[in-house]
Structure 1
């Protein structure tokens, strides 16, 4: 897939997450959902904890990719959220 198409697909997914989170209530975030791990084991998390996991999991992968780029002699983009927000958003 060309990079421009990947970028557009990511923007759509980002928008879905923002809209989904904005539509949640305290009650819906507290709702426990049951699932299966990739190894087949059973699990249960609140919807809020699942969203926290998604956020943290992506951070883990960003850090891992940044480390691989450093090891390859490249400088990765900023992955620190406060720095990103400072640079990407207008001042408050």
Structure 2
């Protein structure tokens, strides 16, 4: 993860946060992967975890549907991914353990 790549992800997430309607699960899955999360076999819905530096993030479920993710669910996923961004920013700065 580079600061430039992280800034691009953050910009995308902030735009999605302003308008959480109309996003597909594949968009969230791509962002989760970009933040170092990988699919993990647990729960009803696909769950994404960070295999490297797992202390930086808790498991994140992203519904796998062909329709748009509901606004409330999308907002929750966006918030969790933005928390990942904050943790990555601190990690890249070298602030404490992450």
TM range (shorter): 0.3 to 0.5
Higher relative helix content: 1
Higher-RCO chain (CA-CA 8 Å, sequence separation at least 6): 2
TM norm structure 1: 0.33
Larger radius of gyration: 1
